[in-house]
Structure 1
Amino acid sequence: MTPASRPSRSIDLNSDLGEGYGRWELGDDEALLSIVTSANVACGFHAGDPSIMRRTCETAAARGVAIGAQVGYSDLAGFGRRFIEVAPETLADEIIYQIGALDAFARLAGGRVGYVKPHGALYNAIVHHEEQAAAVVAAVRAYDPGLPVLGLPGSEWLRQAEAAGLTVVTEAFADRAYTREGRLVPRNRPGAVLHDPEQVAERCLRMATGEPIEAVDGTELHVRAASICVHGDSPGAVDMARRVRAALTAHGIELAPFTGGGASGAGR
């Protein structure tokens, strides 16, 4: 299938949510679920637990927010931000396990998992790691070949997903710096994460309207995306997400899930 297309004046806002664990809380999911249109819900491998997964799905479903499986490496201690050399067959099984676990809670809430987005180190690895990208593609196809997949434009992951017949959806990042090649600047480098809400809101507006943004080296970069990710675990995340949403709607841009059917996942 071809990459998902959207009307020129419509875009999705997604955020990584449900990333607490037990008594440990991360981010303000309640507030963010009143701002975003798609929720990438942690599936228990890098963060999240059954109670958090169920609660996040219930809130998302009640608010018409699309539920996506935020799948990652089995790495609670490292929050899924450490690369793991794992056999492709094992990785595929772990991805299927995570999607299925979240889908159970989504269905109990009256919805279903509507798409898949890798998390953290896995997301970055499959930009170029062919074997792991193939494993994630195989997992999604095995579970439900109708599930759209969300990822970085030009990534190996989306290339293989499209070749396998999956619906691919490109995304941009509100608060992450880009290289001139359109890759994310690694988090351990200076300037990798942007913190000025006004700068971030203006940047998102430019991306949503097809205007270029500035790469980390100062060159102009066009980032074509059907969804913009606003991180939920950074300082001031809620205020930043509100400003991004306000900037977009003030300029007549409709905010809607790219799945087309909110929490139910209908329309895919």
Structure 2
Amino acid sequence: MKSIDINCDLGESFGHYHLGNDKEILKHISSANIACGFHAGDPLVIKNTIEAALSEGVSLGAHPGFPDLNGFGRRVMKLTDDELYSCVLYQVSVLKSMAEALGGTLKHVKPHGAMYNMAAIDVKMALVIARAIQQVDDQLMLVGLANSEMIKAAQMIDLPVCNEVFADRRYTDNGFLVPRSHDGAVIHDEAVCVQQVRDMLFNNEVTSINGKQVAIKADTICIHGDNAEALQFAKKLNASLADEDIIVSSIN
């Protein structure tokens, strides 16, 4: 039987600020990308999210971002290579240590927000991120935008890599994500979400926001935890995949 990983960005609450429906979503995914405290999350949220993921048998991943709590890590920041390397090294190390202290194992790393989007088109930046991950543990898998510079960077240094596609985001004609500032960038219709995933899995293509068919490789499917429809999408995707005898299973 064919299998596919479904991942979600979780642990993005902070102090009294609550975001997402993590505990319920964890029942319908196979991999969790846990915020590391720079763009979202705090020590208690990180601990609770790790424990909740372990209780559901969900694979653990680190979700490092820019040091930008106010902007939720979605604002462009120009860091030096050394600053970026240290930023990623620190966050991944924290998640790895906390996961192990709580009886789990960190399996993958997925950059967040602006860091993710910038590294997708900048191989030099992607290499800095990949080398920081490799420094922590050369068996960690880098999860990056399918067919992007992040995939190439990981392959250049023999770091395990995973092509990520998005269930709830629109694509440009060249296979990148439509910026959130544009109308229609985020999908809120579950039928559209499911059809986009089906096209990516069965046809290896996605329809761009302009109607163009773009070739794509799907190893893992992302649902954004901060999307209001995240839980609904996760349930619908699981049901649709089950109808096709596709197992939801961690890429690891």
C-alpha deviation, 1:206, in angstroms = 2.3
Write out per-residue CA displacement over residues 153-185 of structure 1, whole angstroms, 9 at most, x where no aligned residue: 222122111110101100100011111211111
Aligned to 1:186: 179
Does 1:38 find its partner at 2:31?
A: yes
Identity %: 38
Alpha-carbon distance in structure 1 between the residues aligned to 2:204 and 2:97: 40
C-alpha deviation, 1:95, in angstroms = 0.7
Pairing 1:1-268 to 2, within 5 Å after superposition: 9-259=2-252
Alpha-carbon distance in structure 1 between the residues aligned to 2:204 and 2:154: 27
C-alpha deviation, 1:222, in angstroms = 2.8
CA RMSD of aligned residues (A): 1.2
C-alpha deviation, 1:257, in angstroms = 0.2
Structure 2 regions of 5+ residues with no counterpart?
none
Alpha-carbon distance in structure 1 between the residues aligned to 2:164 and 2:209: 18
CA contact 2:31–2:59 (8 Å) conserved in 1: yes
Write out per-residue CA displacement over residues 39-59 of structure 1, whole angstroms, 9 at most, x where no aligned residue: 000000000000000000011
Look up the equivalent residue of 2:177 and give its one-letter code: L
Tell me the number of residue pairs that the alignment of Structure 1 and Structure 2 aligns: 252
Q: TM-score if structure 2 supplies the norm length? A: 0.97
Off by >4 Å, runs of 4+ in structure 1: none
CA contact 1:147–1:167 (8 Å) conserved in 2: yes
Q: Secondary structure at the match of 1:146?
A: coil
C-alpha deviation, 1:131, in angstroms = 3.2
CA contact 2:147–2:217 (8 Å) conserved in 1: no
Q: TM-score if structure 1 supplies the norm length? A: 0.91
Question: Which of 17-26 and 242-251 deviates more?
Answer: 242-251
Write out per-residue CA displacement over residues 78-124 of structure 1, whole angstroms, 9 at most, x where no aligned residue: 00001110011111111111011111221122111101100000000
C-alpha deviation, 1:211, in angstroms = 4.8
Instruction: State the structure with bigger RCO (CA 8 A, min sep 6), 1 or 2.
Output: 1
C-alpha deviation, 1:215, in angstroms = 1.0
Alpha-carbon distance in structure 2 between the residues aligned to 1:213 and 1:114: 27
CA contact 2:123–2:152 (8 Å) conserved in 1: no
